[in-house]
């Protein structure tokens, strides 16, 4: 495959990754955990790109976290086998796919928070003649999945009694607080969440069960969760590429990804229209930010168009010119695209396929 020479030779809309910033972010996180008892297990749902997962592992990550079986399948195919699916895997179709990964020698672990799911997993896994590691998910504040520490003891007991299953530990995600811009509040509430998670560990161990893994955390709380006594793994993901939402927290990671777009119309002043819309970049965390053009901002997206509003002195942009945006939410923006163009400055170094794009099953 012949690569374009520079970013100006890449068709738009496209996602560009600054290799220096990407690897700098990965090294920064790796350096933080170098002398910690906890280790980072980066979340693949952010970048969905095998090459980035390999860079994280090379820098010292313990393994990779996934959200879905489809993501795990992509990673196992690429030879990455130490995986945690930080989600409940329910239903025979998905569990049989999970079994196929186990038969390929992958060390895949999953989260559970119900007796029904534990029984279903045990039935199918034991009949297949393989063993599956499971983590009891504890609800530490996010109104989503997970059980109370007390219920966690009951589930741990059931797992130990279930053929084909091995209790590997517990997990709990403090997602309700991970994006709070109030640093003091974020730290206080995160510690409350981790206290609840460690309480579950203590109760389960008092009941006679071993809790090897205690997993939690995200990019906004990695430095809190990662130093909390008893936590063994942190599932941070967005730090490698970053976005506007996390950048507001002042964590010290650089925004490594931009969306490049071409101006295609100026016929309806004061708007400038580009070729990147909702099918290229997401807006649930707010509008992406136009880079380098004071007095102009992105105010609206339609399916295939970005609407830049010019205020004050108009920027010197002509039809055919290219502009770049920082994404407001990295995870959903990446999932809208097929590939990442990797840059050293303006020079194109490589093209990476977003191999797990759309893997929502």
How would DSSP label each residue in 128-177? HT--EEEEEEB-SS-SSS-B-HHHHHHHHHHHHTSTTEEEEEEEE--TTT
Which of 236, 271, 304 represents a domain boundary (last residue)?
236
| Mean pLDDT taken over the chain | 97
pLDDT exceeds cutoff 80 at 105: yes
pLDDT exceeds cutoff 80 at 75: yes
pLDDT exceeds cutoff 90 at 314: no
Looking at the chain, the whole-number percentage of residues with pLDDT higher than 90 is: 97
Residue at 213 is within a domain: yes
Do 199 and 336 share a structural domain?
no
Which of 182, 201, 236 represents a domain boundary (last residue)?
236
Residue at 203 is within a domain: yes
Do 265 and 158 share a structural domain?
no
Residue at 36 is within a domain: no
Q: Is residue 97 within 8 Å of 73, Cβ to Cβ? A: yes
Sign, CA torsion 184/185/187/191:
positive
What token pair was written down for 191? 């510690």
Do 207 and 97 share a structural domain?
yes
The pLDDT, as a whole number, for residue 114 is: 98
Residue at 16 is within a domain: no
Residue at 24 is within a domain: no
Residue at 4 is within a domain: no
Q: Give the strand pairing for 347-353 and 339-344.
A: antiparallel
Residue at 321 is within a domain: yes
Residue 222 sits in a domain whose CATH number is 3.20.20.10
- 235: alpha, beta or left, given left = phi > 0 and alpha = psi -120 to 50? alpha
Which of 206, 236, 266 represents a domain boundary (last residue)?
236
pLDDT exceeds cutoff 80 at 312: no
pLDDT exceeds cutoff 80 at 214: yes
Do 218 and 100 share a structural domain?
yes
Do 263 and 226 share a structural domain?
no
Do 287 and 231 share a structural domain?
no
Q: Is residue 25 within 8 Å of 31, Cβ to Cβ? A: no
Do 85 and 222 share a structural domain?
yes
Do 168 and 112 share a structural domain?
yes
Do 273 and 132 share a structural domain?
no
Looking at the chain, the whole-number percentage of residues with pLDDT higher than 70 is: 100
Do 291 and 163 share a structural domain?
no
Question: What is the rounded average pLDDT of the residues 150-163?
Answer: 98
Residue count of the chain, please give it: 361
Do 317 and 216 share a structural domain?
no
Q: What is the pLDDT of residues 118-142, one digit of tens each?
A: 999 999 999 999 999 999 999 999 9
What is this structure's pTM? 0.97
Domain count, the chain: 2
DSSP structure string for 40-106: E--BTTTT--HHHHHHHHHTT---EEESSHHHHHHHHHTT--EEEEEEE--SHHHHHHHHHHHHTT-
Residue at 330 is within a domain: yes
Residue 346 sits in a domain whose CATH number is 2.40.37.20
The pLDDT, as a whole number, for residue 311 is: 83
Question: What is the rounded average pLDDT of the residues 86-114?
Answer: 98
Do 309 and 262 share a structural domain?
yes
Question: Which of 256, 236, 259 has the alpha carbon at shortest distance from 323?
Answer: 259
Q: What is the pLDDT of residues 259-282, one digit of tens each?
A: 999 999 999 988 999 999 999 999
Q: What is the pLDDT of residues 9-56, one digit of tens each?
A: 999 999 999 999 999 999 999 999 999 999 999 999 999 999 999 999
| Residues contacting 21, CB < 8 A, separation 6+ | 254, 255, 256
Q: Give the strand pairing for 257-265 and 271-274.
A: antiparallel
What is the domain extent for residue 305?
257-353
Question: What is the rounded average pLDDT of the residues 95-113?
Answer: 98
């Amino acid at each position: 495959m012949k690569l374009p020479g520079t970013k100006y030779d890449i068709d738009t809309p496209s996602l560009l990754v600054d290799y220096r910033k990407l690897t700098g972010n990965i090294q920064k996180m790796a350096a933080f955990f170098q002398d910690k008892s906890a280790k980072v297990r980066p979340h693949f749902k952010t970048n969905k790109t095998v090459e980035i997962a390999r860079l994280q592992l090379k820098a010292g990550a313990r393994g990779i976290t996934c959200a879905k079986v489809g993501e795990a399948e992509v990673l196992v195919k690429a030879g990455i086998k130490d995986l945690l699916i930080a989600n409940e895997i329910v239903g025979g179709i998905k569990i049989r796919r999970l079994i196929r990964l186990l038969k390929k020698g992958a060390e895949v672990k999953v989260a559970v928070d119900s007796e029904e799911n534990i029984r279903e997993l045990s039935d199918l896994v034991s009949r297949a003649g393989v063993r599956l590691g499971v983590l009891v998910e504890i609800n530490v504040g996010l109104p989503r999945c997970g059980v109370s520490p007390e219920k966690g003891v009951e589930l741990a007991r059931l797992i130990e009694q279930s053929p084909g299953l091995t209790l590997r530990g517990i997990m709990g995600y403090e997602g309700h607080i991970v994006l709070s811009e109030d640093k003091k509040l974020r730290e206080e509430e995160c510690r409350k969440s981790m206290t609840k998670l460690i309480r579950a560990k203590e109760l389960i161990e008092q009941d006679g069960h071993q809790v090897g893994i205690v997993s939690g955390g995200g990019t906004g709380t990695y430095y809190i969760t990662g130093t909390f006594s008893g936590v063994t793994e942190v599932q941070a993901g967005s730090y490698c590429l970053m976005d506007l939402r996390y950048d507001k927290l002042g964590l010290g990671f650089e925004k490594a990804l931009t969306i490049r777009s071409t101006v295609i119309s100026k016929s309806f002043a004061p708007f400038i229209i580009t070729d990147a819309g909702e099918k290229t970049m997401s807006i649930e965390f707010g509008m992406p930010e136009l880079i380098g053009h004071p007095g102009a901002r992105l105010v609206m997206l339609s399916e295939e168009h970005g609407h830049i509003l010019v205020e004050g002195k108009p920027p010197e942009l002509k039809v055919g010119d290219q502009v770049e945006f920082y994404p407001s939410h990295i995870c959903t923006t990446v999932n809208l695209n097929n590939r990442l163009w990797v840059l050293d400055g303006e020079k194109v170094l490589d093209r990476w396929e977003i191999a797990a794009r759309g893997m929502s099953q």
